[in-house]
Structure 1
Amino acid sequence: MQTKRTFKYVAALSVGALALTACGGGDDNGGDTADGEMVINAHGIEPQNPLVPTNTNEVGGGHIVDAIFAGLVSYNTDGSTEMEVAESIESEDNVTWTVTLNDGWTFSDDSPVTANSFVDAWNYGADPDNAQLSAYFFNAIEGANEEGNIEDGSDTLSGLEVIDDLTFEVTLKEPAADFPDRLGYSAYFPLPEVAFEDMEAFGEQPISNGPYVLDEWNHDVDAKLSTNPDYEGNRTPENDGLTFTFYTDPDAGYTDVQSGVLDIMDQVPPSAIETFQDDENIEAHTEDGSVNATVTIPSSLDHFGEDEEGQLRRAAVSKAIDRESITSTIFDGTRTPSTDFSSPLMPDYSEDIPGADVLEFDAEEAQDLWAQAEEIAPFEGTLELSYNSDGAGNKEWVEAVTNQIRENLEIEVEPNPFATFAEFRELITNREIDTAFRTGWQPDYPSVYNYIAPVFGSGAGANDGDYSNEDFDAALVSAASADDEETRTEALTEAQAILMEDLPAIPLWNQDALAIAAQGVEGVQLNWQNQPEYHLVTK
């Protein structure tokens, strides 16, 4: 994504050699272990943080966290929700929800999964002293502030109450009919008691309750997962384990898929985008996708604040980008120019958002908007666009975007690359980056709300540009409390209209779901998050 998961997203050192030595077996079986077990070797990137669910909001860590944990609900391939650890999640008013757990769930250390496993984990995630990236996901619960942190003067969220070992209640601030649908996201995963003794150490070797368990995390090399023999949920593995091999060069990953060293890769590098579907050495998979790409321009940048000048300049930059040209020439049509801040695949998507024409290329209007901003205050210096160069296609599209802005606005614009995603995200998280930067979003659950609330809500964990607008926040509240889909869609459309005017991030395009697999790899299904269903992959 960023994010998972944020912009739920993904140089060249001697990565080819690294990738080869990181794979088990040392032959064409890729991740097969010595005793013949079917271990799937998958493309990955080094996680940003220790693997604590409430502090994991990017794809590198998200792949692993989603594989080793199980939540109250799980998502099917099409994004529909199914009860998993929960037996039921019920409410008469959409405010107070009673969660009843299935009996018999255990963590990988044989300790039971109880109501406290969820309530304690959520309180940990909402504790401001713990500074968790996904705290925002608790902001709907009574006792949390806008940022999702526990209100001053309290130690826990007042809206969480344990009834017994298998039952707890959640009281929300406002009605939210879709609350159960949110609960498959990693921020809501349970934690065992031992986690709270040393959370950083726990994150290096998590004890979990999902389809897989983490056996080894070899930093900057790989993560090895084996199946959990006690798992009885909805995602029963068809294989015997997963190894996520960390790459910093997507071309090296593609070469390893061609040779059978790597079994599956969840992206296609630009060098192969025009040919991969005809490559006889791989199996190509494509579907319409839900992941979007954006450019965030922090309001802290000179001349890009939350005032008239900043609005004019953001609109000018947006109008100066020819999305159709870039998606056609660089991505060979595997991207679709954005028409909103989400994806047309979402059930509450709207085609009629006021102000959405700001996403349409018009060099003449872009120049006029920039000139209006110049009358307020002259722009000096260079506009830089930062990105991680280990993500497939990032270098190519960033260079194309900066070239277009430079030519159409006649200003100095330059790419600013970082070698790894982890380094790049760390600077953003710590607010140590003083440029515009690439962002994007892989949805956590299928709704437009999930694309905009965690990313642009005041104080949200994935709000990398620190955007804040009271009218936008109010529209989010209206959307969350809507009793029917029509009312909900209207509120979300109103919220997006505000975003179109302010442009805290500039939507670029939606990415098709693309994956490649080695010959002989079967069971590849791409889900609503543009990701392979790794537990179904066999060979």
Structure 2
Amino acid sequence: MLLGAASAGAAALALVGCERSATGGSDGGASDGGTGARGADGILRISGTEPGTRLIPSDVNEVGAGRVIGGVFSMLLFHDATGQRVLECARSIESEDNQHWTITLEPGRTFHDGTPVTAQSFVDAWNFGALSTNAQKNQVFYAPIAGFEAVAAEPPAAQTLSGLTVVDDATFTVELTAAQSDFPDLLGCVPFMPLPAAAHEDIEAFGQAPIGNGPYRLEAWEHDSEIRLVPFDGYQGPRESANDGVVIALYADPDTAYNDLLSGEVDLVDGIPSSALATFEDELDGRAVNQPGALLLSLTIPVGNADFAGEAGLLRRAAISRAIDRASICTDLFAGTRVPATDFIAPSINGGGATDLAGAEVLAFDADAARDLWARAEAIAPYSGAPFTLDYAADLPDKEWVEAVCNSIANTLGITATPQSHPSIAEYRALLAERQIPGAFRSSWQADYPSMFNFLGPIFSSTARAAGGTNFSDYANPVFDDLLLQGLAAPDVEQAIAAWRQAEEMLLRDLPAIPLWYQNTLGGYGEGVRDVVFGWNSFPFYFEASKEP
């Protein structure tokens, strides 16, 4: 899932009237007349994209919305810059068998409307996210909880997850379908944020103006222009805002965002366009960020595509993979800011970046092997002759590499390979959800929490094929699913990694998606901006950054 690190905490109702405004004034007084004018009261202006989903935790599965939701809501725990757990809304998360968990909340936390954050707030939110009739994009994240199959059925056989029980306002219990040692890490994901009672009264309206429990309140969402977040002076949690507010400037063109950084119109960007990869570190002169990240770029081919199904389809998928000169693209186009993929897991994750998996040679460029694989497929079932298309969203910095991949495939295999763009990430993701892209498409995964499973389960498990899931390839393999479960139930990390490596080897054979490269964490910030920290998941911790007024 492509989401930002979530922030935590709450503010007392009595402080709402005097909280700082992201336009530079107070809620009740005059502002500077602009929309987050740079330099006003230490407000941090960052680049972003128009959210492609409603701002509901169980529905947010892309970066644009993730930047917002992470500041407006808090979770039971978060992961710090190194990926270590830090309790947030939770006072404790305990289990004696890794299957039955007791969660106790910190007292005195409230939502931005002044209502208390209780055990019921979490349980109701998770039940809402899991229920099939609500069609939430993150539904699959609740699959480990007992009763999920009944709630997720169509039509649902139950309205609530049987594994969730409220003990009192500060305590609830969670029963899982099986032991899962990394369950606390899962609780650090956006879908496990709480919701206030007001959300359930009108969820559509809530999705446009969410009431959270985090250190920032959503002041305004001006579509396709900017989003303004306001900090609470009474925030009590571990991530108190060091700035006077955050304005997310919404860009359709990453080059424009970068140029605005250079000119001082934006204070921080969490991505660098392809046009600046060779120069940004020199141009930013000590204010550039280039470090290992937790993001994998892939090319996905739906299993329902007839040209890539059956025995011939497996050979063609392998041929496409071997026809892509990853190393040259990473060097020539990305100036070494990407690393050719050798598996399905980003190397910043424990167990990721493996180079010794059986079948991993399929990820290495070999023109002769690619042509031989294609010829073998033709002998079994001739290709339809339709152009090989690679779809992507035009408002992401992907055009150049998509063209390069298509050229590599075309030049190696002698087939027509054509880029196919869509105007926005929102439109693109809607088409994917509706299964309206029959050909290959650009796909990526930015880790939600630091575990190998997070790169496998949400993308390739059978459960994730359901409406609202993120298995857009529609891959389904019961043996693969069983290996995922074995890893989750393993008594230690080493045995979990061993099971998940076997699952990866199955993916290397079936190639529902073709890994391309690991993407470094890239970004930059302006003069006068201090304490910029990018987390383990490639997102900046906005709450830590400050700006000279």
Contact persistence 1:348–1:489 (CA under 8 A): yes
> Out of 276, 281, 302, which is 1:277 matched to?
281
Is 1:487 the counterpart of 2:495? The answer is yes
Contact persistence 1:296–1:437 (CA under 8 A): yes
Give the Cα separation in 2 of the matches to 1:78 and 1:532.
12
- Normalised TM-score (structure 2): 0.91
Contact persistence 1:160–1:171 (CA under 8 A): yes
Is 1:189 the counterpart of 2:188? The answer is no
Match of 1:383 in 2: 388
Q: Counterpart of 2:531 in structure 1: which amino acid?
A: G
Contact persistence 2:529–2:546 (CA under 8 A): yes
Relative to structure 1, is the Cα distance of residues 149 and 132 closer, same or farther in structure 2, using a 3 angstrom cutoff?
farther
Give the Cα separation in 2 of the matches to 1:137 and 1:505.
20
Match of 1:257 in 2: 261
> Out of 488, 503, 517, which is 2:511 matched to?
503
Is 1:167 the counterpart of 2:171? The answer is yes
3-state SS of 2:54 partner: coil
Give the Cα separation in 2 of the matches to 1:44 and 1:418.
18
Match of 1:363 in 2: 367
Match of 1:107 in 2: 111
Is 1:82 the counterpart of 2:80? The answer is no
Is 1:137 the counterpart of 2:136? The answer is no
Residue 255 of structure 1: how far off its partner (Å): 1.1
**5+ residue gaps in structure 1?**
7-22
Match of 1:288 in 2: 292
Contact persistence 1:146–1:459 (CA under 8 A): no
Q: Counterpart of 2:513 in structure 1: which amino acid?
A: A
Residue 348 of structure 1: how far off its partner (Å): 2.7
Give the Cα separation in 2 of the matches to 1:184 and 1:516.
26
> Out of 60, 66, 79, which is 2:64 matched to?
60
Residue 147 of structure 1: how far off its partner (Å): 9.6
> Out of 96, 100, 104, which is 1:96 matched to?
100
Give the Cα separation in 1 of the matches to 2:546 and 2:318.
47
Give the Cα separation in 1 of the matches to 2:285 and 2:77.
38
Residue 432 of structure 1: how far off its partner (Å): 1.6
3-state SS of 2:362 partner: helix
Match of 1:47 in 2: 51
Within 5 Å, give how 1:331-480 maps onto structure 2.
331-349=334-352, 350-379=354-383, 380-392=385-397, 394-460=398-464, 461-480=469-488
Match of 1:156 in 2: 160
Contact persistence 2:38–2:266 (CA under 8 A): no
Deviations 1:286-309 (A, max 9, x none): 11111110011111222112x212
Match of 1:19 in 2: none
Residue 33 of structure 1: how far off its partner (Å): 7.3
Give the Cα separation in 1 of the matches to 2:459 and 2:318.
19
Give the Cα separation in 1 of the matches to 2:86 and 2:520.
25
3-state SS of 1:145 partner: helix
3-state SS of 1:37 partner: helix
Deviations 1:36-71 (A, max 9, x none): 421111110011111000000000001101111100
Match of 2:323 in 1: 320
Deviations 1:478-503 (A, max 9, x none): 01011111111100101101111111
Q: Counterpart of 2:545 in structure 1: which amino acid?
A: V
3-state SS of 2:409 partner: helix
- Number of aligned pairs? 518
Give the Cα separation in 1 of the matches to 2:47 and 2:37.
15
Q: Counterpart of 1:484 in structure 2: which amino acid?
A: D
Give the Cα separation in 2 of the matches to 1:149 and 1:77.
38
Give the Cα separation in 2 of the matches to 1:180 and 1:353.
28
Match of 1:519 in 2: 527
What CA RMSD, in Å, does the superposition of the two structures yield over aligned residues? 2.0
Deviates more, 1:519-528 or 1:394-403: 519-528
Relative to structure 1, is the Cα distance of residues 245 and 282 closer, same or farther in structure 2, using a 3 angstrom cutoff?
farther
Deviations 1:103-126 (A, max 9, x none): 111000010000000000000000
Give the Cα separation in 2 of the matches to 1:209 and 1:110.
9
Contact persistence 2:48–2:251 (CA under 8 A): yes
Relative to structure 1, is the Cα distance of residues 414 and 33 closer, same or farther in structure 2, using a 3 angstrom cutoff?
closer
Deviations 1:207-249 (A, max 9, x none): 0001111010111111110002342122111001111111011
Residue 258 of structure 1: how far off its partner (Å): 0.8
Give the Cα separation in 2 of the matches to 1:503 and 1:42.
37
Q: Counterpart of 2:3 in structure 1: which amino acid?
A: K
Residue 30 of structure 1: how far off its partner (Å): 9.0
Q: Counterpart of 2:202 in structure 1: which amino acid?
A: D
Q: Counterpart of 2:357 in structure 1: which amino acid?
A: I
Contact persistence 1:475–1:492 (CA under 8 A): yes
Give the Cα separation in 2 of the matches to 1:502 and 1:364.
21
Give the Cα separation in 2 of the matches to 1:126 and 1:30.
37
Contact persistence 1:4–1:441 (CA under 8 A): no
Match of 2:11 in 1: none
Relative to structure 1, is the Cα distance of residues 537 and 150 closer, same or farther in structure 2, using a 3 angstrom cutoff?
farther
Deviates more, 1:342-351 or 1:284-293: 342-351
Contact persistence 2:75–2:194 (CA under 8 A): yes
Q: Counterpart of 1:4 in structure 2: which amino acid?
A: L
Q: Counterpart of 2:338 in structure 1: which amino acid?
A: R
Contact persistence 1:126–1:132 (CA under 8 A): yes
3-state SS of 1:303 partner: helix
Give the Cα separation in 2 of the matches to 1:149 and 1:168.
24
Give the Cα separation in 2 of the matches to 1:43 and 1:146.
41
Give the Cα separation in 1 of the matches to 2:170 and 2:351.
34
Give the Cα separation in 2 of the matches to 1:30 and 1:257.
17
- Normalised TM-score (structure 1): 0.93
Deviations 1:475-529 (A, max 9, x none): 0000101111111110010110111111110000011111111122111111111
Residue 148 of structure 1: how far off its partner (Å): 5.6
Relative to structure 1, is the Cα distance of residues 147 and 508 closer, same or farther in structure 2, using a 3 angstrom cutoff?
farther
Q: Counterpart of 1:385 in structure 2: which amino acid?
A: L
Deviations 1:178-208 (A, max 9, x none): 1011101000000001100110100100000
